[in-house]
């Protein structure tokens, strides 16, 4: 069903890209209604425009808070063209039809992000715009709603192809986008108020405007999309499109590497969200080589991340390894020349952006929501519970190992020095199995466990892990504590002259 556009209402905050549409509407003989700054913008194009006030016979009032909220505006949009009684009412009340509405919304989210005062934020809650969007979208059988400047190009194409007429499916498509725009805007406002209450309300609402279709999900038979703005996080310098599994691993990699201050080069290699290697060193190349040494097998096909720039020397070493993704804050020109020789190798340059402090996922017939685990223990958070205190180097190693354990799948045991992961046991159903796995791996790759400390993501319910660690030569342990049998593990440490510290913070990761 085609509808000829006879009149249009234009009221926008952002005017970029609007000029060619105005000229096309004028060329097609379509009457334009407008108000305020948009009216002035149209007049500067030399195009005739009818002020909304002349239609409503009512001025803009309350500092512009009320401009388009009037029966002659909303009647012109909402009356049903095919319904005779509506047509009669429109004529009786002298309500002209409005067939096209171009409107956007005040930048509420940007105003909140800018740190503006609450009064400024409140003034950016759009009333007239959101009402115009919903009204026009509701009557999509007769009217066309353009709710975003991202639709200007498509609108211009429709106007040119249809010579001012639109098809039903086009109007329905624009309406769907309009309701998505409206919903996103309301979610942003709802979340702002929920977060600023003295007692925050347990309300879950999420909305993302940007999205992309992924090649597939965890497996080829699963469809997948990413909702969010990856370009705000990274500049992709090389490689194929990111997959679902890439994104999950990249998220884990960023969380892990951000535990380490950029003043000291740190490098991590991850597989299935767990670190198979991580190290710090005096330069990036050395940090990478130490991380790689922890597991030269699992590193194949991994996701790599550095907290410092990738230079030529590091790139030459990295080029010897097949990996999926490399993330860094910067890349030297010569390093890029080397790394770009593999066309599918993904290279991501990080941008500075604040990461979300909450996380959620679907579960059963609902959603699980929680604060992100942002607690990281330093030396000041350690309590020695054994007769022997850890040495200075052991203390540094315990802090390092605890950071890695925090970002490993539970149950996990991490064996490390103060600058290098030796091995870890991850995702095990028992802590004993996790420890045995870590010991086997560490020995396989030639590490001396007498130079290692042990970190656990949760407490020891029995002394067995301490006893096994002691047999392997480990001299110091870090764990949350909190078991009713803590004393058993502490006594086992004392018997073996081991040092144990507790943190009081558990770091389960499922």
Which pair of tokens denotes residue 301? 């096909």
Compute the average pLDDT of residues 260-277: 96
Give 129-154 pLDDT, tens digit per residue: 999 999 999 999 999 999 998 999 99
Q: State the pLDDT confidence band at 356, using cuts at 50, 70 and 90.
A: confident
Q: Is the pLDDT of residue 355 over 90?
A: no
Residue entry with tokens 């992961």: 421
Q: Is the pLDDT of residue 274 over 80?
A: yes
Please check whether residue 329 is in contact with residue 235, taking contact to mean a CB–CB distance below 8 angstroms: no
Q: State the pLDDT confidence band at 357, using cuts at 50, 70 and 90.
A: confident
Dist. CA 49–CA 44, nearest whole Å: 10
| pTM of the predicted structure, to 2 decimals | 0.83
Please check whether residue 278 is in contact with residue 256, taking contact to mean a CB–CB distance below 8 angstroms: yes
- Residues with a known catalytic role: 138, 272
Residue entry with tokens 């940090």: 287
Dist. CA 473–CA 449, nearest whole Å: 6
Dihedral angle of Cα 106, 233, 358, 411, to the nearest 10 degrees: 170
* H helical segments located in 7-151: 19-27, 36-44, 52-56, 71-78, 84-92, 108-113, 118-123, 128-138
Q: State the pLDDT confidence band at 68, using cuts at 50, 70 and 90.
A: confident
Q: State the pLDDT confidence band at 496, using cuts at 50, 70 and 90.
A: very high
13-22, 136-145, 418-427: the lowest-pLDDT one = 13-22
Dist. CA 432–CA 468, nearest whole Å: 8
Give the per-residue SS3 of 303-372.
EEEECCCECHHHHHHHCCCCEEEEEECCECHHHHHHHCCCCCCEEEEECCCCCCCEEEEEECCEEEEEEC
Tell me: cis bond preceding 411? Omega within 30 of 0 counts.
yes
């Amino acid at each position: 069903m085609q509808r000829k556009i006879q009149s249009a209402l234009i009221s926008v905050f952002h005017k970029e890209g609007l000029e060619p549409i105005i000229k096309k509407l004028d060329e097609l003989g379509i009457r334009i209604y407008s108000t305020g700054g948009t009216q002035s913008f149209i007049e500067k194009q030399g195009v005739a425009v009818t002020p909304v006030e002349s239609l409503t016979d009512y001025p803009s009032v309350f500092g512009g808070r009320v401009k388009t909220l009037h029966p002659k505006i909303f009647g012109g949009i909402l009356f049903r063209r095919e319904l005779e009684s509506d047509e009669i009412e429109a004529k009786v009340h002298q309500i002209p039809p409005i067939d096209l509405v171009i409107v956007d919304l005040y930048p509420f989210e940007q105003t909140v992000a800018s740190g503006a005062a609450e009064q400024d934020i409140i003034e950016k809650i759009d009333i007239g715009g959101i009402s115009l969007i919903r009204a026009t979208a509701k009557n999509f059988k007769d009217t066309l709603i353009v709710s975003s400047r991202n639709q200007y190009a498509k609108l211009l194409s429709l106007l040119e192809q249809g010579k001012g007429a639109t098809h039903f499916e086009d109007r329905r498509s624009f309406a769907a986008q309009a309701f998505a725009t409206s919903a996103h805007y309301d979610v942003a406002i709802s979340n702002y108020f929920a977060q600023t209450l003295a007692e925050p309300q347990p309300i879950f609402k999420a909305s993302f405007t940007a999205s992309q279709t992924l090649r597939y999900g965890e497996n080829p038979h699963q469809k997948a999309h990413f909702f969010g703005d990856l370009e705000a996080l990274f500049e992709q310098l090389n490689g194929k499109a990111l997959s679902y599994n890439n994104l999950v691993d990249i998220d884990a990699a960023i969380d892990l590497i951000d535990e380490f201050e950029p003043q000291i080069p740190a490098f991590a290699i991850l597989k299935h969200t767990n670190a198979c290697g991580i190290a710090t060193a005096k330069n990036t190349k050395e940090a990478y080589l130490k991380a790689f040494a922890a597991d030269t097998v699992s590193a194949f096909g991994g996701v790599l991340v550095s907290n410092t720039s990738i230079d030529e020397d590091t790139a030459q070493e990295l080029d010897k390894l097949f990996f999926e993704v490399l993330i860094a804050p910067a890349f030297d020109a010569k390093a890029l020349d080397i790394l770009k020789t593999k066309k599918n190798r993904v290279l991501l340059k990080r941008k500075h952006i604040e990461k979300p402090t909450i996380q959620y996922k679907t579960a059963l017939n609902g959603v699980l929501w929680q604060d992100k685990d942002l607690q990281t223990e330093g030396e000041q958070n350690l309590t020695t519970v054994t007769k022997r205190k850890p040495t200075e180097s052991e203390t540094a190693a315990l802090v390092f190992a605890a950071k890695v354990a925090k970002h490993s799948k539970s149950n996990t045991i991490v064996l490390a020095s103060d600058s290098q992961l030796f091995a870890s046991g991850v995702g095990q159903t028992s802590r004993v199995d996790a420890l045995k796995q870590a010991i086997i791996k560490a020995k396989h790759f030639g590490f001396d466990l007498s130079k290692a400390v042990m970190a656990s993501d949760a407490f020891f319910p029995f002394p067995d892990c301490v006893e096994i660690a002691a047999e392997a030569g480990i001299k110091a342990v870090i764990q949350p504590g909190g078991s009713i049998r803590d004393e058993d593990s502490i006594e086992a440490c004392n018997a073996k002259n081991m040092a144990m510290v507790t943190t009081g913070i558990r770091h389960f990761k499922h």
